[in-house]
Amino acid sequence: MGCLQSKVGTSKEPGESNVNSTLTENSPQRGATIKNVESWITNPSDYVAKSSVDKKIIKTLQARKKKMDEDGTYSKHTNFERVAMQFGNVEMAFGTIRDIYEKHTDPVRKTMHMDNFCSALSAFGVTIDRPAIQDIFNESDLIRDNSLNFNEFAVSLAICYLLGVVPGLNVAGGHAYYENPPADDESSPELDATDAKQIAKAFDTVVNAYLMFDEDASGIIKWDEMQEILNKPEDGKAKVTSHKTKFFNVERWKELDWNKDGSINFQEFFLAFQKWVGMDDEE
């Protein structure tokens, strides 16, 4: 099965810049001096998505948040202790993703380039065209080296899950917040039902953790929003939940804000979350 029918739009909208060139200009330099957290906040206005894929991610997150609000389940799903209890399951799911990554990695360069990525998604049963896959690849290549390490590959699968283009994961997740819900009878030749369900649940856990801090699903988490949430009592308690304050602090923020622009999008959050559960790729 190849990269065929497009489910993810790739055409640029008026005023929208090329994904790769825009993000390359703003990419972080390794070894750069870490600035004071407050000085990272350079754009106090609302977040503007940099690509069509980013826009679709935000739209899906907003639909998910809306559904939680309608169901009255937002507080339940974004409870920190509840999310933290899933870390072990998330780590196991990421282990399965690592096996898949290594299966499709270039054996010589030990990394995943575009051709490998297209092959991996085809094995998952993904049937989107190559330009759409290139967009997802670019969105996941956070280091900007035209390849995906394991952590970036996991980010790419999470994006695919949110966009509803991986049949096996879509069925396992069973969600109703996609703009164009996939057919229920589709399956993935790469994943058995058990692994698919485990990975889908892990992705849901990370999404819930993200929405814990991006309460309006705007597409970014800002430092002042993070501070406000950390200092807000939960369930009538007079003080901040100790687990939260230990887990999120300035050092955690530095890990999250990959490009040091004073805000965190879902992709950056997902990348850092892997490190927190013990799945950091050694560079």
Task: Show me where the domains of the chain are located.
Answer: 48-216+266-276
- Nearest-CA neighbor of 204 among 83, 59, 79? 83
CA distance 58 to 61: 5
**What DSSP state is assigned to residue 111?**
S
Locus of tokens 């501070």 = 227
How wide is the angle at C-alpha 161 spanned by C-alphas 157 and 162, nearest 5°? 120
CA distance 28 to 44: 20
Q: What is the pTM of this model?
A: 0.75
Q: At what angle do helices 193-213 and 87-103 cross, to 10 degrees?
A: 120
Digitized pLDDT (tens) for each residue of the chain, 283 residues in all: 455 444 444 444 434 433 333 333 333 333 333 233 333 333 444 555 578 999 999 999 999 999 999 999 888 888 878 888 888 899 999 999 999 999 999 888 889 999 999 999 988 888 899 999 999 999 999 989 999 999 999 999 999 999 999 887 875 554 544 444 444 444 556 778 889 899 999 999 999 989 988 888 999 888 777 777 667 665 555 444 555 555 566 777 777 777 777 788 999 999 888 888 877 665 4
CA distance 141 to 123: 20
